[in-house]
Structure 1
Amino acid sequence: MAADTGAAGAAELLGHGSPADWVELAKFTRPRAPTPREQHGGLCIWLTDTQISLLGPSAATFHRSVKEVTGTDGLQSAAVVNVTFEPSYETLTFHRICVVRNGQERLIDPRAHAQVFRREPDLERAIYDGRLTANITLPDIRVGDLVDVAFSVSGDHPIVGRHFSREWLFNWGCWVGETRVRLLAPVERRLTMLGWSGAPAAQERLLNGACERVWRSQQTEAVELEPDMPSWVRPYATIRVCDRTAWPEVAALFAPHYSTSGVLPPGLEEDAAGLVGLEPKARAAAALRLVQSALRYQSVSLGEGGFVPRSLADIWVSRSGDCKDASRLLVALLTRLGLTAHPVLVNTWKGWILDQEPASPLSFDHCIVGLTLGAETFWLDPTMAPQAEELDTIYQPRFGWGLPLKTGASLVWMGVGEVVELLHVEEIIGAPRTVADPVELEIRSSYFNWRAEMERRRWDASHAQAERDYVSARRNGYGELELLEPIHLADDRKRNAVRTLERYRAPAPWVASPKGEMAELLLRDGFLDHQLPTPETSQRRWPIDLGRPRRVRHEYVVALPAPLQGAGWDETYEGPSVSARLALTVAPGGREARLLREIEFREPFLAAEQAAAYFRFRAKVLSESGATLRLPVQKGKFVTPPKGLLGNIQTYWGRWLFGIFWVAYILATFFDV
């Protein structure tokens, strides 16, 4: 959504003038022509300068950037200036837009080329933050131009007030000539300062009775990121500065806004009365579903709305709200039902290391509910789609550390959760009479815990679309198969399990040799490969995100076209925080074989020091998870092989087996867990 004010309206919203006296605005001189390695996307970034003053009645931040257009790819980026601000408490003032061409400066009045949009980037998620974007399109920008832009934003959020908390990067995904951060604060202001990943040290001095701190990095090379890093790592050189406080003080700041009087809005009180007679866990689960079912997610984070919930009456009457509103409503309902619950602030990105971060009211981006029943604590998210019936089987979101909003509260550890049985897929393949025959294919999938809830939402949203998605995914693995009957869906909400049954006619999976004497089936493993996606790197610097603790299984059950004999195998592979099992069994008589792949992840993250062991585990498992079967055929029909032939079958596992068959594998992305 975008509302355009036009140039006239923009002039009323945007300030234009000289920077404040405390700002240092030095003339920039291009040091030399940029080298090829200093150019990225048609630009060379010469300077990023950020200056902050905490000396006035509200925080003020000055930003300046100087970039050179080195190629046509950089023209669009250099010619468009976008600055976002919240007009209810922030003021945006432009100080300088200067284009330097062949040593000649051309000053541009931003008000003559500005439009202000109310842009909601998360509109499709029903999130409205009320921020405006000042969009300035600079005329006549050419390759070789230097574009120098400077502006200031001032103002404090009405809820957190004067509490300051910022984080700055000192290297980037491209070469940068200089990154500078300058902070002015009263000498007596107690600040916490932390640095990561080789961040520069501050240079401090007294300046006109204030403390000036300057951090600077120069000629920084592009940072190369590693795959599958946890969201909480800081791979870039980073400095964080915030006012010194404690977590109980943060809880005390927000808790009053979530208080409940014990009186529920009309209508909700009647619903609550019907739950009173249930036992505590059933009462809590029913209350959770009631709120999840009643509220439509909508976040209006205008002004105070970004940090505090609305009144219970407004939430219930509108039947809508964000995480703060839903959590406040659920806590009020649980309290009315005689249960102990509190809102809990969490950080979905950095919650796992929140105990290592300085306390700050700006440390959170989500709110859930902590429910205490005896010695157990349950973590409930009322913004999720309606969950299963049993409190013990629902998915509980865990984000590392959370802050309960109650008197004297500090951070609490939410735990990593137990290893859950998440997915079991069984593919039953019929035996063809000839090499060219299609086969009957039956696929039975069982989803549990959060995967069950994902599948439930998929099928509830559109049964027809879900079925089309299933068939499309199977065709990516098997080719143009035919769905023989509608997919059967069974939903066991008590166990939080969703089961599907699919029946197809699949194209012939066997391939005859050029001479027609043998038929070959190649077993390729896309299942374990998808569970172990992180490629090996020689010297891993950062932890590996393994995903939530889980166990997944994939099993082929194949009716063999010719009798085979063999003992098979059953082997377990151990790695750091992960184990796998590969097993092959052949039924007596040799007419059925089962191939099992199972993997278990016990922790969500793996330390960088364990990466080498993990990569060895990964390489071993993936190298031993495929096989080739060759069976003799006569005139296109399978025949019982001579005993001596069975010893000539070599598998991808590097062992000699009596026999195995090909099963076309399922598209790995279909089982994204």
Structure 2
Amino acid sequence: MLSYPRNKRKSHSLILLLLLVLWQLTAFAAPKNVSVKPEPTWIRKLLTRTQTSISPNDVNGGFHYLQMDLQFEVAQQERYFHYVYKLTTEEGVQNLSELNITFDPNHEELQLHKVVVWRNGKPINQLNLNKVKVLQREKGMEQGIYDESLTAVLVLEDMRVGDLVEYAATVKGVSPVFGGKFFNSFNLQGYDPMDEMLVHLVAPQHRKINYKLYLTDKKPTVATANGNTTYTWHLKDLPATPVDDETPSWFDPYPGVYMSEYNTWQEVAQWALPLYEGQEKLSKALQAKIDSIKNTYGSDEGRLEAALRFVQDEVRYLGFEAGVNGFKPHSPSMVFAQRFGDCKDKALLLCTMLRQMNIKAHPALVNSSSGTHIQDQLPSPYAFNHCIVRVELLGKQVFWYDATISKQRGNYKSIYLPNYGKALVIAPQTKDLATVVPPATDKPHISAQELYYISDFDGPVTLEVRTTYTGVEADNQRSYFATTSLKDIGKVYLNFYASQYPDVEQAEAPTYEDVETSNSFTVFEKYTISNFWAPQKDNGKVVEAWFSPQVLRGYIREPKTSKRTMPLALSHPLHVEQKITVLLPESWTVDSEEKEIEDNVFSFRRTAGYSSGGKELMLHYAYQSHQDHVEAEATAAYLRNQKALLEELSYGLTYNKAFASGNDTDFSWQVLLLVVVLLCGFSAGAYRLYFWDPVPANGYSLADAESIGGWLVLPLLGLFFTPVRVLSFLISNEYFNQRVWTELLDASSNVYSPALVVVSMAELMMNVGFLVFSILLICLFIKRRSSVPKLMVLFYAANFGYILLDYLLVQGLGLPVGSTSETVRSIITALVGAAIWIPYFNVSERVKATFVEQLQPYVAEETPQYETNERTMIN
């Protein structure tokens, strides 16, 4: 065995360590797939621009571009770019003093050509391959996507305000998954102004490159030479593009160009077909899972739901998309075994499982941002960023599902799907884009019910809340509750209501009910609110309370930019209903209201009404969207309608404590005295009518009288209910509440209305009259008096006339009319009753034969016999 002296071994160890460090530094300094090379010979060169006409005051971010140069060589699969930008502020120096170039090492090579800093018109070379660091940053990691892309980073040294940065590089190579086909897109204008821009494309003459302009009319210069066709856009003095915020995801504000070698969507489908149509044999584990579902569920619908839920909930979303796997899904057996995959992996796994159960299913490519606007682009694989599944059941019924959405429940017909708009179905027969039709539903996505228990005007108020979510909102809530503790949820909910009621406290922890069959998720909450009633600022004797549909309000977004040149994004589809019920300690005499607002993009309805007793306030709000955006030219009208909507959300109640404390009793003895006087007066009139004794109908007599029967039983029952209904009306409408009359006649009261007092008195008189009249009719009806037919006609005619005239009078005076729908219903009911029973009591044979009784029946005088004899004798 050889041995070295101790100091020599130490020397060799140091040398080996030094060589290892040098090897690592060399490997780091000369990273794989990154090199320094001269610029390609095929490019169209521009002279470096070092002078600009752009003011620093007209740009953002502390920098602006003097030159932007983007060039493509289709045959050699090279992409060249050359940029020159100026640093105008310290912030620009801070943020733009390092270069970042991303590339895919699986099939791309990065060639650096130059990195120059221009200062005072002189170039400073900063291209040093040894200082280039290559990092694997994985920008999609937070979304569960790993694509192994690398970022070459070069930190520029000694950078100062006013410096110009110039760099040029080429990325060579494209993913082999595209088979060499070319497609790309680029903008011809940016957010800030630019001095010069060049886009240049070189393609073999036999390869047709389609282009489509977007928001621009700048066509390229097309030339053919040396067997190549070139497309060139050379633009100077480009203006800035003013961009509004809150635009829809599908809207690209920048003018640009789409380019593609694909001619039709059918060609794109044919490209994708072999990527998704693997013929591999399924693993035993996957086949066993499929057989288990098939044997457990006896219908295609049940098997579909089971397979979908398995892929959605038990195969987590995680994608390794390096190389061709950015477009080609992994095998279903692998995805099943590892229990994770991206959208295309999960879509193909679901399709494979369904096909094994003889259910027709195909993957379908969509764009989660562009939706229906995919068709505005040129056909290319880059038009899509997501994959879903199209299923066809027996009867040719088509359904669409997203296998990446977890916690979805409900019937297979109603499972939520985002509005993806258009899809490219990966099937041999596909020729064009298909329309994705989400499941239709009329149910609100959010239905909130709030119940306020108010026992007095000083103590705490109890608030109970029940919120039901359906569709996507149920899915979201189900996931939220599955990942958040009830304690934290309760805290969030408590603070939600604390924004309106600062003294709110949680009475019970929130609970929930998940009904998976109907895909509804209901949350229950309970609170106590102290200091619910607050004194008015101008009058401390009056307290007020306000109610607002906060759940609905949370979905109404007010735009930051009102003067717009671009569409405004809206939440869609959105259907929210909120009901607020307030149980009051006393009856309230406040008008009922209805309000509707119709806009091209939404509809809104609010109703406010009181129960017949006046102790229950009911507020109902409903909002439904019609589309996902507002066109720029329609923004002003939309904002006016939205402002009107927001003004309708709050509803207030006021209560004057001075009136409450100033009366020993609420009962109005004056009104009672008036009712007694009216009863006496109307009773006197009824007494006279009782003795009205008209002759029965011609041809009918007491000897042939019939008993009360047939249809006559119905009006008799109505008469019996009339006194009860009138008494209930008088009591429930607070006619005997002194405080009501006092507030109506007090000019300082919020409900001051002398006209309403006059109308209410008239209603009181009419109702007392109807009370007495109905009692009289009951007596006459039972006795089958001959006056009944004419008095019944009068009764029905007077009832209809009174209701109609009362409504017209109240409308004419601008007084509260209660619920319009209920009032109209009352008028129609009275009209129908009059239309039926007035003719009946006039022409019915049964009526004529029944009402024949008289107090003093008429007897014809007989001629004395002796007079006849006398005449005979004289003759």
Q: 1:173 aligns with which of 182, 185, 191?
A: 191
Residues 395-474 of structure 1 correspond to what in structure 2 (within 5 A)?
395-409=416-430, 410-415=432-437, 417-420=439-442, 421-431=444-454, 433-435=456-458, 437-464=459-486, 465-474=488-497
Query: Could you say which residue in structure 2 is the equivalent of 1:197?
Result: 215
Q: Does 1:289 align with 2:393?
A: no
C-alpha distance 554-222 of structure 1, shift in aligned 2 (>3 A)? farther
Q: Aligned letter for 2:333?
A: A
Query: Could you say which residue in structure 2 is the equivalent of 1:12?
Result: 31
Offset at 1:273? 2.6
- Partner Cα distance (2:385, 2:112) in 1: 30
C-alpha distance 542-656 of structure 1, shift in aligned 2 (>3 A)? farther
Query: Could you say which residue in structure 2 is the equivalent of 1:507?
Result: 530
Query: Could you say which residue in structure 1 is the equivalent of 2:404?
Result: 383
Tell which deviates more after alignment, 601-610 or 317-326.
Answer: 601-610
Q: 1:647 aligns with which of 751, 774, 779?
A: 751
Q: Any conservation in 2 of the 1:251–1:408 contact (CA below 8 Å)?
A: no
Tell which deviates more after alignment, 84-93 or 409-418.
Answer: 409-418
- Partner Cα distance (2:473, 2:107) in 1: 42
Structure with the larger strand share: 1
- Partner Cα distance (1:34, 1:361) in 2: 38
Tell which deviates more after alignment, 72-81 or 610-619.
Answer: 610-619
Q: 2:504 aligns with which of 476, 481, 497?
A: 481
Offset at 1:490? 0.2
Q: Does 1:392 align with 2:493?
A: no
Q: Secondary structure at the match of 1:271?
A: helix
- Partner Cα distance (1:286, 1:341) in 2: 15
Q: Secondary structure at the match of 2:499?
A: helix
Tell which deviates more after alignment, 635-644 or 59-68.
Answer: 635-644
Q: Any conservation in 2 of the 1:518–1:633 contact (CA below 8 Å)?
A: yes
Q: 1:66 aligns with which of 65, 84, 93?
A: 84
Offset at 1:524? 5.3
Q: Secondary structure at the match of 1:231?
A: coil
Offset at 1:211? 2.0
Q: Aligned letter for 2:521?
A: V
TM-score (norm 2): 0.70
Q: Any conservation in 1 of the 2:54–2:194 contact (CA below 8 Å)?
A: no
Query: Could you say which residue in structure 2 is the equivalent of 1:346?
Result: 366
Query: Could you say which residue in structure 1 is the equivalent of 2:355?
Result: 335
Identity of aligned residues (%): 26
Offset at 1:199? 5.1
Q: Any conservation in 1 of the 2:343–2:386 contact (CA below 8 Å)?
A: yes
Offset at 1:63? 1.0
Q: Does 1:236 align with 2:259?
A: no
Query: Could you say which residue in structure 2 is the equivalent of 1:582?
Result: 606
- Partner Cα distance (1:110, 1:648) in 2: 86
Q: Secondary structure at the match of 1:267?
A: helix
Tell which deviates more after alignment, 452-461 or 116-125.
Answer: 116-125
Q: Gapped runs of 5+ residues in structure 2? A: 1-23, 664-738, 754-813, 819-875
Offset at 1:362? 2.3
Q: 1:245 aligns with which of 263, 266, 276?
A: 263
Q: Aligned letter for 2:358?
A: G
Q: 2:590 aligns with which of 552, 566, 570?
A: 566
Q: Any conservation in 2 of the 1:113–1:138 contact (CA below 8 Å)?
A: no
- Partner Cα distance (1:223, 1:595) in 2: 46
Q: Any conservation in 2 of the 1:418–1:549 contact (CA below 8 Å)?
A: no
- Partner Cα distance (1:507, 1:204) in 2: 76
Q: Secondary structure at the match of 1:230?
A: coil
- Partner Cα distance (1:201, 1:408) in 2: 35
Tell which deviates more after alignment, 490-499 or 72-81.
Answer: 72-81
Query: Could you say which residue in structure 2 is the equivalent of 1:160?
Result: 178
Tell which deviates more after alignment, 578-587 or 596-605.
Answer: 596-605
Q: Does 1:183 align with 2:204?
A: no
Q: Any conservation in 2 of the 1:163–1:243 contact (CA below 8 Å)?
A: yes
Q: Any conservation in 2 of the 1:199–1:239 contact (CA below 8 Å)?
A: no
C-alpha distance 617-106 of structure 1, shift in aligned 2 (>3 A)? same
Q: CA RMSD in A?
A: 2.8
Residues 601-612 of structure 1 correspond to what in structure 2 (within 5 A)?
601-608=625-632, 610-612=634-636
Residues 580-659 of structure 1 correspond to what in structure 2 (within 5 A)?
580-608=604-632, 610-634=634-658, 642-644=743-745, 645-647=749-751
Deviation string, structure 1 residues 358-402 (Cα, Å, up to 9, x no partner): 211222111111111224211111111132142123212331110
Q: Which has the higher contact order (CA 8 A, sep 6+)?
A: 1
C-alpha distance 544-70 of structure 1, shift in aligned 2 (>3 A)? closer
Q: Secondary structure at the match of 2:381?
A: coil
- Partner Cα distance (2:561, 2:317) in 1: 42
Q: Any conservation in 1 of the 2:49–2:84 contact (CA below 8 Å)?
A: no
- Partner Cα distance (1:612, 1:291) in 2: 46
Q: Any conservation in 1 of the 2:552–2:577 contact (CA below 8 Å)?
A: no
Tell which deviates more after alignment, 301-310 or 458-467.
Answer: 458-467
- Partner Cα distance (1:160, 1:367) in 2: 17
- Partner Cα distance (2:29, 2:319) in 1: 26
- Partner Cα distance (1:336, 1:388) in 2: 23
Query: Could you say which residue in structure 2 is the equivalent of 1:662?
Result: none
Query: Could you say which residue in structure 1 is the equivalent of 2:757?
Result: none
Offset at 1:264? 4.0
- Partner Cα distance (1:101, 1:648) in 2: 79
Offset at 1:262? 9.0
Offset at 1:250? 1.6
- Partner Cα distance (1:656, 1:211) in 2: 79
Q: Aligned letter for 1:496?
A: N
Q: Secondary structure at the match of 1:485?
A: strand
Q: Secondary structure at the match of 2:177?
A: coil
Query: Could you say which residue in structure 2 is the equivalent of 1:549?
Result: 573
Q: Secondary structure at the match of 2:414?
A: coil
Offset at 1:60? 0.8
Residues 189-228 of structure 1 correspond to what in structure 2 (within 5 A)?
189-198=207-216, 200-228=218-246
Query: Could you say which residue in structure 2 is the equivalent of 1:664?
Result: none
Deviation string, structure 1 residues 462-506 (Cα, Å, up to 9, x no partner): 333333332333333432532222211100001100001001112
Deviation string, structure 1 residues 323-376 (Cα, Å, up to 9, x no partner): 111111111111112211111111112231222322112221111111112242
C-alpha distance 480-390 of structure 1, shift in aligned 2 (>3 A)? same
- Partner Cα distance (1:442, 1:290) in 2: 37
C-alpha distance 638-175 of structure 1, shift in aligned 2 (>3 A)? farther
Q: Any conservation in 2 of the 1:39–1:175 contact (CA below 8 Å)?
A: yes
- Partner Cα distance (2:95, 2:47) in 1: 23
Offset at 1:438? 3.0
Deviation string, structure 1 residues 531-572 (Cα, Å, up to 9, x no partner): 443549777544443333332111211123442123412233
Q: Any conservation in 1 of the 2:31–2:134 contact (CA below 8 Å)?
A: no
Q: Aligned letter for 2:30?
A: A
- Partner Cα distance (1:312, 1:550) in 2: 36
- Partner Cα distance (1:612, 1:377) in 2: 40
TM-score (norm 1): 0.90
Query: Could you say which residue in structure 2 is the equivalent of 1:663?
Result: none
Offset at 1:135? 0.9
Q: Secondary structure at the match of 1:387?
A: coil
Q: Secondary structure at the match of 2:409?
A: coil
Q: Aligned letter for 1:275?
A: I
Residues 30-49 of structure 1 correspond to what in structure 2 (within 5 A)?
30-32=50-52, 34-49=54-69
Q: Does 1:306 align with 2:361?
A: no
Deviation string, structure 1 residues 16-40 (Cα, Å, up to 9, x no partner): 1211111233332333464243332
- Partner Cα distance (1:226, 1:590) in 2: 49
Q: Secondary structure at the match of 2:657?
A: strand
Bigger radius of gyration, 1 or 2? 2
Query: Could you say which residue in structure 2 is the equivalent of 1:363?
Result: 383
Offset at 1:316? 1.3
Tell which deviates more after alignment, 261-270 or 451-460.
Answer: 261-270
How many residues align? The count is: 648
